[in-house]
C-alpha cells in the first residue's frame, strides 16, 4: 500500500513538472510572436491625393510660374492643350491627363548652369505656394521597361522618367484650378521641367450631318470636312465613308446643287507628292459619291496639296486643320 501511494506521488510530480515546462514553452513562444510583430516594419501608406491639403496661394495662370533668373528653355517646349504625362506615384510611373508643358532648361548665354540653383529655386517656390513633395528618388529599370512604350512623348522635349535620374515630384491642389503636377530633374549641365494641370477629357467630335453640310453650302458657299484616309493613301476609312454618305444625302436633298471637291494637305514632306495625294483623295470622294447614286456631272475634283492652308503650318494641331476636304458650291 505504501509503495502504491509513493508511486502515485512520484507520477503526479513528474506530470506537474512536464505541464509546467509546456506552459513555459507556450508563454515563451507567445512572447516571441509578440516581439516579432512589434519588430515588423509598418506597411507603407499608399498615396492618396485626398491627403494633400488645398493650397490657398495665388498661383497665376498656366504654366503657373517663370523659370529662375538666368535660366531659359533650351528649345521650343512641348505644349499641349490636352495630353498625357507620367509621374512617379509610390515609384510607379502613373499617367495623368490635362494641359501639358515639358521643357529642357539651360542657362542663358554667358552663364553657367547650377543644378543646386535650379533645384532649390523650384523647391523653395513650390513649397511657398503650398505644393507637397510626393516623390524624391529614382524609378527602377524594371519600371522604366514597363511603362516607357506607353508614353507617346517619350524622348521629346523635357522628357522625365528614366531609371538613372533623380526625380522630384510635387503636387499643388487648388479648388479653382484643380490638381497641378510638377516634376523636375537636373544634373550639372541642364535640367528638365514638366507641368501638368489635370483636366478631364472633353469630347469635341460631333457627327457630320447632311443638314449641316447643306446649310454650310447655302450660307457660306463651302463646307470644310475632315475625312479620314489610310496613311499616305487615298483609301477612305470607315468613319470617312459615313461622312461621304452624309454628303450624298445633302446632294440628294437638293438635286440642283453642284459641288467642287477640293483636297488639301499640310506642308509636311514633298510638295509634288502632297499635291498628287490630295488630288487622289478628292477623286476618291467623287468616286464614292457616284457609287451613292450622285450624277458625276454635278461633281468635280481637284487637289491643291499645301498651296491653300487654312492656318499656318507651325504646330501639329494647325497642320491637322489643314489636312481637309472642302466642298465648294458651284454657281
* Domain shared by 220 and 278, yes or no: yes
In a domain, 7, yes or no: no
Lowest average pLDDT, out of 38-42, 113-117, 145-149, 157-161, goes to: 38-42
pLDDT for the residue 46: 85
* Domain shared by 225 and 108, yes or no: no
Number of folded domains that form the chain: 2
In a domain, 2, yes or no: no
In a domain, 22, yes or no: no
| Structural domain range at position 113 | 52-198
Instruction: Tell me the mean pLDDT in the region 299-321.
Output: 93
**Residue with cell string 515630384:** 169
In a domain, 145, yes or no: yes
In a domain, 78, yes or no: yes
pLDDT for the residue 6: 47
Percent of the chain with pLDDT over 90: 82
* Nearest CA-CA partner of 98 in 204, 202, 175: 202
Rounded to whole angstroms, the Cα distance separating 105 from 195 reads: 13
Instruction: Tell me the mean pLDDT in the region 148-158.
Output: 96
Amino acid at each position: 500500500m505504501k509503495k502504491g501511494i509513493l508511486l502515485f506521488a512520484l507520477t503526479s510530480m513528474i506530470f506537474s513538472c512536464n505541464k509546467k515546462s509546456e506552459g513555459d514553452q507556450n508563454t515563451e513562444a507567445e512572447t516571441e510572436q509578440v516581439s516579432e510583430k512589434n519588430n515588423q516594419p509598418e506597411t507603407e501608406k499608399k498615396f492618396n491625393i485626398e491627403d494633400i491639403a488645398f493650397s490657398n496661394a495665388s498661383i497665376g495662370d498656366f504654366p503657373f510660374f517663370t523659370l529662375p533668373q538666368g535660366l531659359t528653355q533650351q528649345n521650343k517646349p512641348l505644349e499641349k492643350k490636352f495630353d498625357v504625362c507620367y509621374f512617379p506615384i509610390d515609384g510607379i510611373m502613373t499617367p495623368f491627363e490635362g494641359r501639358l508643358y515639358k521643357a529642357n532648361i539651360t542657362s542663358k548665354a554667358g552663364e553657367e548652369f547650377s543644378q543646386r540653383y535650379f533645384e532649390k529655386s523650384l523647391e523653395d517656390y513650390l513649397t511657398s505656394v503650398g505644393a507637397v513633395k510626393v516623390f524624391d528618388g529614382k524609378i527602377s529599370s524594371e519600371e522604366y521597361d514597363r511603362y516607357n512604350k506607353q508614353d507617346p512623348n517619350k524622348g521629346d522635349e523635357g522628357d522625365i522618367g528614366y531609371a538613372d535620374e533623380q526625380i522630384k515630384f510635387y503636387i499643388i491642389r487648388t479648388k479653382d484650378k484643380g490638381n497641378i503636377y510638377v516634376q523636375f530633374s537636373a544634373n550639372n549641365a541642364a535640367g528638365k521641367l514638366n507641368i501638368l494641370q489635370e483636366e478631364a477629357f472633353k469630347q469635341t467630335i460631333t457627327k457630320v450631318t447632311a443638314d449641316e453640310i447643306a446649310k454650310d453650302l447655302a450660307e457660306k458657299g463651302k463646307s470644310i470636312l475632315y475625312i479620314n484616309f489610310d496613311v499616305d493613301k487615298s483609301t477612305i476609312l470607315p468613319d470617312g465613308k459615313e461622312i461621304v454618305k452624309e454628303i450624298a444625302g445633302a446632294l440628294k436633298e437638293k438635286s440642283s446643287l453642284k459641288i467642287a471637291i477640293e483636297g488639301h494637305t499640310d506642308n509636311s514632306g514633298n510638295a509634288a507628292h502632297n499635291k498628287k495625294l490630295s488630288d487622289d483623295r478628292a477623286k476618291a470622294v467623287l468616286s464614292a459619291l457616284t457609287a451613292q447614286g450622285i450624277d458625276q456631272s454635278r461633281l468635280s475634283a481637284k487637289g491643291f496639296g499645301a498651296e491653300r492652308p487654312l492656318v499656318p503650318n507651325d504646330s501639329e494641331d494647325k497642320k491637322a486643320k489643314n489636312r481637309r476636304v472642302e466642298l465648294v458650291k458651284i454657281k
